[in-house]
Amino acid sequence: MNKTRRAERSMYANPVLIGAVTVLVAVVAVFLAYNANSGLPFVPRYNLRVQVRNASELTHDAEVHMAGGALIGYVTSIDPARDAHGQPIAILNLALNKSVQPLPVDSRFTIRLKGTIGLKYLDVTPGRSRRGWADGATVPLGRATAEVDLDQILNMYDAPTRRGVIASTTGFGEGLAARGADLNSAIHEFVPLVGDLGPVMRNLASPRTDLAGFFRGLESFSGAVAPVASAQAQLYVNLDTTFRSLAGVAVPYLQDWISQTPPTEQTVIARAPDIEPFVIDTAQLFADLRPGFATLPQSAPVLAQAERLGVRNLPGTAGLDQRLVSLAEKLKSYGQTPSVQQGLDRLTLTFSSLHPLLSFLTPVQSTCNYVTLFLRNSASLLSDHVGTGTTFRFLLVAIDDVLGNESGPSRSLYTTPDTNPTDEHGPVHVNPYPNTDSPGQTPECAAGNEPFSAAQAVVGNPPGNLGRSTGKTSSTLK
């Protein structure tokens, strides 16, 4: 028993054995510490391959965080590859914790800046899809993006850009100099704007507005514009040349034009009611000319042929032209005779006097067709034969001689309604001055359109508008 204890005590007291164990423990600890970023050995991992356009300085063993900050894995390696169009891309090999398996297929991967020294990490925003990426799956392009780094923003400010910023700042300073009172007034006027801005901000913050979708669209637009950045830069160079040319005529020509624009616009606004009838008449004129324009494809060749014939025949009309010139000179001399001038003045006065009458009578025919209807009906009466001649020469009028009826003497018009439907008489209906759509009258053709009712008398134009419908006439000439 004592021998066994002495053997164990001598084994633990052996310095070589203790040193070897210590070295082995140190090697294992160093190995575990060295491979800690890649995960502990014998621990299962959830592996994914993520395609990105650009690794954006993401390095081996970079951390992978869930949205919110939780560490869920590491980037084990980055491999080069090409997409379906042959363009170079990068593939991020991820080793993630099994607890996040499977990630939804609509999850997004974003390369973000971890610190100001340029260290990057991969941020994972889980989606809401019920389908997930299987272990070892490859996430296609379009699900991964990269944020713009601060150094990329600062690299835009090269020497020409810095000079432009300095010039712009100086120009803004000179433009705002001595305008403090105006700025104060502008700030005061912004107060209602800020009050009204609340509902606008609430609408923008609403999920239904999809402001994030707007910015994604803006990102896509910027990506489409990036390839033509050089052409846009040349556009601004050309604009600079244009504005330099305009600067030479800015004073006084452009200055006078700008100062004269407000009173010109005010004059146009004030005169717009006077111009409106002209514009309406012009539109009506072109509407009336539209049928004529439609016939131009057929009539244009005929007109062209007539012009060609006219040009060919014009030399033969030289003698007639000379006689016309002599006639015109004689007419000129005749027209300057005092008696002729007096006659023309009388004709002018006559036509001026007839103008109101013709204006009143013109719609009688042009709208209501009364003159043509009168002539047609007269011809019909003259041609309609009866036993004693024609209807126009002889017409039997049967008079129902009832006391108070139209045929009986009375001091006033017979207006008593007739309630007996079998009678052939009724109250008077007379319209000596019917409306004919003439100036000052109701726009209607009353004559021949008055309704007859035995229940009431009608003297003059019936109430309401009877419309412009009238009998139609057509030519019988062949």
Q: Which parts of 248-295 fold into alpha helices (H)?
A: 255-294
The model's pLDDT over 55-87, given as tens digits with 9 standing for 90+, comes to: 877 888 888 888 877 888 888 888 898 888 888
The model's pLDDT over 268-301, given as tens digits with 9 standing for 90+, comes to: 888 777 788 888 889 999 999 888 888 888 888 8
Q: Which DSSP letter does residue 386 get?
A: E
Distance CA 401, CA 300 (A): 71
- Listed in sequence order, the residues at least 6 apart from 105 whose beta carbon sits closer than 8 Å to its beta carbon are 127, 129, 131, 132, 133
Averaged pLDDT, 118-123? 82
Cβ atoms of 395 and 384 closer than 8 Å: no
Instruction: Please determine, for residue 25, whether its predicted confidence score (pLDDT) is greater than 70.
Output: no
Average pLDDT, the chain: 79
Whether the model pTM is above 0.85:
no
Angle at alpha carbon of residue 157, lines to 154 and 162, rounded to 5° = 140
> How far is CA 298 from each of CA 156, 286, 304, 310, 396, rounded to the nearest angstrom?
66, 19, 11, 19, 58
The model's pLDDT over 162-188, given as tens digits with 9 standing for 90+, comes to: 888 888 888 888 887 878 888 888 888
Q: Please compute, for residue 108, the number of CA atoms within 13 A of its CA located in the half-sphere on the CB side.
A: 10
Cβ atoms of 56 and 151 closer than 8 Å: no
Distance CA 470, CA 476 (A): 19
Instruction: Please determine, for residue 446, whether its predicted confidence score (pLDDT) is greater than 80.
Output: yes
The model's pLDDT over 231-246, given as tens digits with 9 standing for 90+, comes to: 888 888 888 888 888 8
Instruction: Please determine, for residue 34, whether its predicted confidence score (pLDDT) is greater than 80.
Output: no
Q: What pLDDT score was predicted for residue 368? A: 87
Q: List phi, psi (to 5°) of 112.
A: -120, 165
Q: What pLDDT score was predicted for residue 478? A: 43
Q: List phi, psi (to 5°) of 222.
A: -65, -40
> Closest Cα to residue 93, out of 106, 80, 110?
80
pLDDT band at 256 (very low <50, low <70, confident <90, very high): confident
In 127-217, DSSP assigns E strands to 138-139, 144-146
> Closest Cα to residue 52, out of 86, 87, 92, 84?
92
How far is residue 260 CA from its own chain's centroid?
A: 31
The helix-helix angle for 296-313 and 255-294 (nearest 10°) equals 90
* Percent of the chain predicted with pLDDT > 90: 0
Q: List phi, psi (to 5°) of 15.
A: -65, -30
Instruction: Please determine, for residue 366, whether its predicted confidence score (pLDDT) is greater than 80.
Output: yes
The model's pLDDT over 328-347, given as tens digits with 9 standing for 90+, comes to: 888 888 888 888 888 888 88
Cβ neighbours, 10 Å, residue 146: 20
Domain parsing of the chain, residue ranges: 35-149, 214-239, 248-291
